[in-house]
């Protein structure tokens, strides 16, 4: 009886999804290559790329025009992707040891760039988790951060069916958590079938009156924690090859001024409490708002860092321009970070003033750490009669 009820509920769910005109299912065949670079090229003893292949299944919800931000972003679709890849041994070079299989799951957004009656062209941005059937060589774990960054095209066949084509760059990184920073660089193309459920015609929604961001300027203060794996580190001026991990805390403050109805930008400062001490930086922050979600892109410059001198004393020193050093001489301090840094992340507004945030910080091309934090916003708005510290309503606009 329980099995019958489970099957019945599953069938009802499928029928309900199929009745919705704004639900889309995609099935794709994936083929591409893993490019061994840096650490991987040496560790796996690979001189050539490895061919990857697999399947991807996407579920998308098309916009209905209920929210103003949909209009400002040209009515994007929101989806969830499930990806399965064999990472080597299909044809050509096979890694030693073998990379095995990978499955990944991640939410994404499809941002339309061009639309016509024939089809559309869009940018696809997603982030999630990748799992491996064995501990991944180089990454040092069974799980890692997975990114899906690429372009998506659609060619309409009829009102329900279309061909879908993807070109994706898929970096997979251990986030400096399980071992020394390592990234699998995978590029692939995908060809598949797009099926829109429901019996009616889906038409691009239109909003007669679209609201704008409910603030003209906003100050955001964020406190974050992160964990880093450090293979080698100086402790109190002494080289310590057995030091394996460190917790870091970051205090970040940005002031974002509205530029358009989906983009705000402004200056920011960062204070990172790390081993051996403190690091200070300035950045230019950008926020891209979709309702209660805000995408973050910061470009920063480290100004000061705590360093140990030859006498073993900690001093707050200014960074040297373009400094990017690794440990080569255990008799003196050398930086493992660098002058320039980037932050890419996502905020979700729980209530008007409070949000949670997940982000990734990198130095030049090297992923530094994943940050998990909580923050508080102080908005200023003349359009809704707000003030600093005042109640201005729903900051994550509909």
The CB density around residue 91, as the number of other CB atoms within 10 Å, is 9
Same domain, 76 and 177: yes
CA 1 to chain CA mean position, Å = 44
Q: Is 31 within the bounds of a domain? A: yes
Give the span between the Cα atoms of 384 and 353, in whole angstroms. 15
Same domain, 67 and 171: yes
Same domain, 183 and 243: no
Q: Is 332 within the bounds of a domain? A: yes
Tell me the β-bridge partners of 305. Answer: 279, 317
3-state secondary structure of 166: strand
| Contact status, residue 5 vs residue 41, Cβ threshold 8 Å | no
pLDDT tens by residue, 203-212: 677 776 777 7
**How many residues in total does the chain contain?**
398
Which H/E stretch holds residue 15?
helix 2-19
364 pLDDT tier (thresholds 50, 70, 90): low
Percentage of the chain with pLDDT > 90? 37
Cα distances (Å, whole numbers) of residue 5 to 19, 33, 51, 154: 21, 44, 44, 38
Q: Is 393 within the bounds of a domain? A: no
Give the span between the Cα atoms of 344 and 389, in whole angstroms. 27
Residue of 58, 59, 171, 62 whose CA lies nearest to 112: 62
Q: Is 99 within the bounds of a domain? A: yes
Q: Is 397 within the bounds of a domain? A: no
Residue of 51, 58, 61 whose CA lies nearest to 31: 51
Residue of 163, 159, 220 whose CA lies nearest to 190: 163
User: Token pair for residue 53?
Assistant: 């292949």
pLDDT tens by residue, 25-46: 999 999 998 887 666 666 666 6
Which pLDDT score is estimated for 334?
36
Beta-carbon contacts of residue 137 (< 8 Å; ≥ 6 apart): 40, 43, 44, 95, 97, 99
Residue range 300-310: mean pLDDT, rounded: 72
Total number of domains in the chain: 2
Q: Is 204 within the bounds of a domain? A: no
Give the span between the Cα atoms of 92 and 88, in whole angstroms. 8
Which pLDDT score is estimated for 78?
93
Same domain, 29 and 130: yes
Same domain, 283 and 354: yes
CA-CA-CA-CA torsion sign (204, 126, 251, 349):
positive
Which pLDDT score is estimated for 232?
53
Same domain, 181 and 44: yes
pLDDT higher than 50, residue 329: no
pLDDT tens by residue, 135-166: 776 677 788 889 999 999 999 998 889 999 99
Q: Is 386 within the bounds of a domain? A: no
Same domain, 162 and 58: yes
pLDDT higher than 80, residue 234: no
Q: Which domain holds residue 147?
A: 23-196
Same domain, 31 and 155: yes
Which pLDDT score is estimated for 29?
95
pLDDT tens by residue, 31-84: 998 887 666 666 666 667 788 899 999 999 988 888 888 888 989 999 999 999
Which pLDDT score is estimated for 370?
87
Question: Which domain-ending residue is among 141, 165, 196?
Answer: 196
3-state secondary structure of 7: helix
Beta-carbon contacts of residue 4 (< 8 Å; ≥ 6 apart): none
CA-CA-CA-CA torsion sign (255, 226, 356, 346):
positive
Q: Which residue has the higher pLDDT, 268 or 325?
A: 268
Give the span between the Cα atoms of 194 and 19, in whole angstroms. 16
User: Token pair for residue 352?
Assistant: 């008007």
Same domain, 155 and 255: no
Which H/E stretch holds residue 41?
helix 39-43
| Contact status, residue 170 vs residue 147, Cβ threshold 8 Å | yes
Same domain, 36 and 181: yes
pLDDT tens by residue, 254-300: 999 999 888 999 999 999 887 667 888 999 999 999 888 999 999 99
Same domain, 147 and 236: no
pLDDT higher than 90, residue 396: no
Radius of gyration of the chain (CA): 24
Give the span between the Cα atoms of 108 and 147, in whole angstroms. 9
| Contact status, residue 296 vs residue 335, Cβ threshold 8 Å | no
CA-CA-CA-CA torsion sign (65, 69, 74, 77):
negative
User: Token pair for residue 368?
Assistant: 């530094």
Q: Is 138 within the bounds of a domain? A: yes
CA-CA-CA-CA torsion sign (288, 292, 293, 299):
positive
Residue range 345-350: mean pLDDT, rounded: 92
Same domain, 183 and 56: yes
> What's the CATH number where 78 sits?
2.40.160.20
| Contact status, residue 148 vs residue 126, Cβ threshold 8 Å | yes
Supply the mean pLDDT for the chain.
Answer: 78
Residue 301, CA atoms < 13 Å, CB-side half-sphere: 8
Which pLDDT score is estimated for 183?
80
């Amino acid at each position: 009886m329980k099995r019958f009820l489970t099957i019945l509920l599953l069938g009802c769910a499928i029928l309900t999804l199929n009745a919705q005109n704004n639900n889309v299912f995609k099935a794709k065949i994936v083929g591409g290559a893993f490019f061994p670079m840096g650490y991987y090229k040496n560790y796996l003893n690979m001189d050539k790329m490895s061919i990857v292949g697999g399947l991807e299944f996407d579920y998308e919800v098309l916009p209905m025009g209920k929210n103003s931000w949909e209009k400002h972003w040209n009515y994007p679709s929101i989806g969830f992707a499930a990806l399965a890849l064999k990472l080597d041994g299909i044809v050509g070079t096979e890694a030693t040891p073998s990379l095995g299989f990978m499955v990944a799951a991640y939410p994404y957004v499809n941002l339309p760039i061009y639309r016509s009656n024939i089809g559309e062209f869009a940018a696809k941005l997603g982030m999630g988790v990748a799992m491996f059937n064995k501990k991944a060589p180089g990454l040092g774990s069974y799980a890692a951060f997975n990114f899906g960054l690429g372009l998506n095209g659609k060619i309409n066949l009829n009102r329900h069916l279309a061909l879908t084509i993807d070109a994706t760059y898929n970096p997979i990184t251990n986030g400096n958590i399980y071992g020394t920073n390592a990234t699998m660089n995978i590029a692939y193309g995908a060809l598949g079938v797009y099926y829109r459920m429901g019996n009616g015609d889906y038409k691009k929604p239109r909003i007669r009156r679209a609201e704008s961001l409910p603030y003209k300027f906003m100050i955001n203060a964020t406190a974050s924690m992160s964990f880093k794996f450090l293979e080698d580190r100086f402790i109190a001026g002494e080289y310590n090859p057995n030091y394996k991990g460190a917790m870091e805390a970051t205090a970040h403050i940005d002031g974002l001024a509205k530029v358009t109805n989906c983009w705000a930008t402004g200056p920011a400062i960062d204070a990172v409490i790390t081993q051996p001490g403190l690091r200070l930086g300035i950045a230019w922050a950008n926020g891209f708002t979709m309702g209660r979600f805000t995408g973050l892109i910061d470009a920063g410059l480290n100004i000061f860092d705590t360093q140990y001198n030859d006498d073993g004393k900690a001093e707050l020193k200014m960074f040297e321009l373009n400094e990017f050093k690794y440990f080569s001489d255990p008799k003196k301090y050398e930086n493992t970070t660098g002058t320039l840094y980037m932050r890419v992340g996502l905020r979700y507004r729980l209530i008007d003033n409070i949000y949670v945030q997940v982000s990734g910080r990198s130095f030049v091309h090297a992923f530094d750490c994943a940050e998990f934090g909580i923050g508080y916003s102080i908005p200023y708005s003349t359009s809704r009669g707000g003030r600093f510290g005042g109640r201005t309503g729903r900051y994550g606009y509909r």
